[in-house]
Amino acid sequence: MSRKASFADRRDALVRRPFPLLVALSMSRIFHGSNAGEEEMNLSMGVVLALLALPGGFVSIFLFDKYGSLLQWLRGESGFDPLAAAFPDEYFFIVLSMVVTAGVAVWWWDSIFPDRRDFATLVPLPLPLSRIFLANAVAIVILTCLFALDVNAASSLLFPVVVGASQTRVEFILQFAFAHAVAVLLASIFSFFAVFAIAGLLMLLLPSTLFRRISLYVRTLLVTVLLLMLSSSFAVPSLILPLPHGSRSVLRFLPPAWFLGLCQWLRGRAGGALIDLAHTAVLALIVASVTAVAAYALSYRRCFIRLPEIADIPHGHLGTGSRWIFRALDGIFLRTPLQRAGYRFVWKTLLRNETHALMLGGFAGLGAVLASQTLFSAFSPSGPAPSLTADTLSVPLTLSYCVLIGIRFVFDVPAHHPANWIFRFSPAGGISETPGLALRVMLSSTLPWIFLVVFPMAFHFWGWRVALLGTILTTIWVVTLSEILLIRFGKLPFACRYPAFRHSAVVVVLACVLGYFAFAGVTSEVEVAAIASPVAALPLVVLSLGVGYAAHRIRRKSMHSDERMLFESEPDASFAVLHLSDGN
């Protein structure tokens, strides 16, 4: 107890000195973000660290089935080489550590550099600017190391134990653990510094207004690249292994491959291209770190000191160029004042609010990754047209599913909740209007590109009949899914405080995964059957319309038109009084 108390006293005494205090303040700002306290999605440091550590631990435990000696003996496997078997898993762990760490860096993109609040608070104090700069740099280094350790701690402990389950020598486990830990840690540090370097270079090279405008799109692109890297992690290792020394393969540009080469080199099992990749890993780490530090120093000088002179432009600001779109839509399908005002509000929030745009970008990026994999596998190298299979037809369905689920998910994430008074004071506020508005947003995010991109492409490859039928069926399924997602939706998007998914996150995730297979898998099979047999197509179209209509009726029935919109939904109580003594 006394030792604990003295440690706490020493820590408090340390943080009460100016420089450590500045470092702690910078760490806190980076962690909480620029909008800390104003958004409702903030999590504590402990929760975030626990969440980040989970994937590595879970994956390691799941791999026990592959490496357990008893299980191998039961399967009748002999001559098992754990190092060879661990090659693809090692690649996966490297990708996982890079994706998680880079994801964190992308999320904290704006907080890496001191912001206006820091400027307003710290600069008027008698502190040299160099000390603020140095404290922020130290905070970045500490957080980078902390997150790199946290993301990789579980896999560095568990994965070597799992792989060494069939081994009798402790040295094997220790050597394996060393190489694994070094590779994943350096991969994490590289990915953090790489994102940091990109942010710093853009800040340095672009005018500040342009940087603010495009940084949201750059971050969305980075999220998509990370998802692409993750989804390709099962296919890449088998392609790397046979590469010869000095290979000119495009795989040499893949950052996880560099660190896989480094890991194999540390184990003394690097041959062929793996040695080149190991050298690239070291070089890339140095380049990323130096670039990040240099860009940080120069952009700090350029941007932080000039902060009061720079206008505070929101991310992804579109200017006034989008007005004509809204005016055109007013005449077509935005009928009530609430729909007109709400539709503009929803789209501008989706495109400009950092949290919402990033979340939606993540879902859309996931959709793009899944769809692109299907699309690439559908194109045969010999023929110009992709084959007409359920997989090919599932591409627009996959994309639509991810976008619709993403939009529905972000509808529940509040956007500066105190600002919802403007809608509360609106005379139009019937609950029946909200699903209509949300439905219009969801449909206008999917149907335009189905009509303008998917239909012409299908027409080009397979003719008008396939294009028309495919587009009709896809439209029906998109409308049906949107109707299902909006059952019991009585809020104005973003204007309600409490996200409904918090209490049922696991169920929601499972439902989304199952829904994906039903929506993109089953419906594309239906489309193939309909296209193959024109006679069978008509009942299928009618059936699909029937399902869509049923979803529409259920959604309408779940709402009572005389109710008001929800603005202050509260979490479910963690306990309930049962009134057992009432005797009823």
Among 9, 14, 38, 422, binds another protein (CB under 8 A): 38
Nearest alpha carbon to residue 480 among 518, 454, 453, 537: 518
**Unique residue bearing structure tokens 């795989």:** 251
Q: Which is nearer to another protein, 39 or 527 (CB)?
A: 39
> Which amino acid is it at 456?
P
Q: Which is nearer to another protein, 22 or 216 (CB)?
A: 22
Which residues are 491's β-sheet partners? 566
Give least dist CB 21 to another protein, A. 5
Question: Candidates 15-23, 322-330, 367-375, 483-491 — which segment interacts with another protein by CB under 8 A?
Answer: 15-23
Question: Candidates 11-19, 169-177, 369-377, 471-479 — which segment interacts with another protein by CB under 8 A?
Answer: 11-19
CB-based burial label for 49 (10 Å; 0-12, 13-18, 19+): middle
DSSP 304: I
Q: Which is nearer to another protein, 242 or 337 (CB)?
A: 337
Q: Which is nearer to another protein, 14 or 468 (CB)?
A: 14
Count of residues in contact with another protein, rule CB under 8 A = 27
Give least dist CB 204 to another protein, A. 19
Give least dist CB 290 to another protein, A. 30
CB 112 within 8 A of CB 199: yes
Contacts (CB under 8 A) with another protein, residues 164-183: none
Contacts (CB under 8 A) with another protein, residues 543-572: none
Give least dist CB 128 to another protein, A. 6
Q: Which is nearer to another protein, 252 or 416 (CB)?
A: 416
Q: Using alpha carbons only, how large is the chain's radius of gyration in Å?
A: 27
Q: Which is nearer to another protein, 9 or 38 (CB)?
A: 38
Q: Does 10 bind another protein (CB under 8 A)?
A: no
DSSP 517: I
Tokens of 211: 């940087």
* Alpha carbons 154 and 148: distance in angstroms, whole number: 11
Give least dist CB 124 to another protein, A. 5
**SS3 state at 142:** helix
Among 10, 11, 17, 465, binds another protein (CB under 8 A): 17
**SS3 state at 246:** coil
CB-based burial label for 348 (10 Å; 0-12, 13-18, 19+): middle
Give least dist CB 136 to another protein, A. 14
Contacts (CB under 8 A) with another protein, residues 473-492: none
CB 369 within 8 A of CB 231: yes
Q: Which is nearer to another protein, 123 or 303 (CB)?
A: 123
Give least dist CB 330 to another protein, A. 18
DSSP 87: H
Q: Does 32 bind another protein (CB under 8 A)?
A: yes
Give least dist CB 354 to another protein, A. 17
Q: Does 309 bind another protein (CB under 8 A)?
A: yes
* Alpha carbons 371 and 364: distance in angstroms, whole number: 10
Contacts (CB under 8 A) with another protein, residues 91-150: 116-117, 119-128
Tokens of 165: 């389950």
Give least dist CB 536 to another protein, A. 58
Q: Does 29 bind another protein (CB under 8 A)?
A: yes
Provide CB contacts within 8 A for 48, sequence distance 6+: 31
Question: Candidates 23-31, 228-236, 237-245, 408-416 — which segment interacts with another protein by CB under 8 A?
Answer: 23-31
Q: Which is nearer to another protein, 308 or 319 (CB)?
A: 308
Tokens of 318: 């579109």
Question: Candidates 26-34, 273-281, 294-302, 371-379 — which segment interacts with another protein by CB under 8 A?
Answer: 26-34
Q: Which is nearer to another protein, 32 or 348 (CB)?
A: 32
Give least dist CB 126 to another protein, A. 4
CA dihedral 85, 89, 90, 94 (to 10 degrees): 170
Give least dist CB 33 to another protein, A. 10
Among 3, 37, 46, 382, binds another protein (CB under 8 A): 37
Among 46, 76, 79, 308, binds another protein (CB under 8 A): 308
Helix (H) or strand (E) run with residue 405 in it: helix 390-411
Output phi, psi for 42, to 5 deg.
Answer: -75, 140
Question: Candidates 19-27, 167-175, 368-376, 393-401 — which segment interacts with another protein by CB under 8 A?
Answer: 19-27
Question: Candidates 34-42, 293-301, 424-432, 460-468 — which segment interacts with another protein by CB under 8 A?
Answer: 34-42
Nearest alpha carbon to residue 391 among 514, 520, 526, 537: 520
CB atoms within 10 A of CB 429: 16
Among 23, 25, 105, 254, binds another protein (CB under 8 A): 25
Angle at 451 between CA 447 and CA 452, to 5 degrees: 115
Q: Does 22 bind another protein (CB under 8 A)?
A: yes
What DSSP string runs through 255-281? HHHHHHHHHHHHTT---THHHHHHHHH
* Alpha carbons 26 and 88: distance in angstroms, whole number: 38
Q: Which is nearer to another protein, 11 or 245 (CB)?
A: 11
Q: Does 21 bind another protein (CB under 8 A)?
A: yes
What DSSP string runs through 410-436? HHTS-SSGGGGHHHHT-S--BTTHHHH
Among 6, 14, 18, 283, binds another protein (CB under 8 A): 18
Contacts (CB under 8 A) with another protein, residues 42-61: 42
CB atoms within 10 A of CB 513: 10
CB-based burial label for 334 (10 Å; 0-12, 13-18, 19+): buried
Write out the residues near another protein by the rule CB under 8 A.
16-18, 21-22, 25, 28-29, 32, 36-38, 42, 116-117, 119-128, 308-309
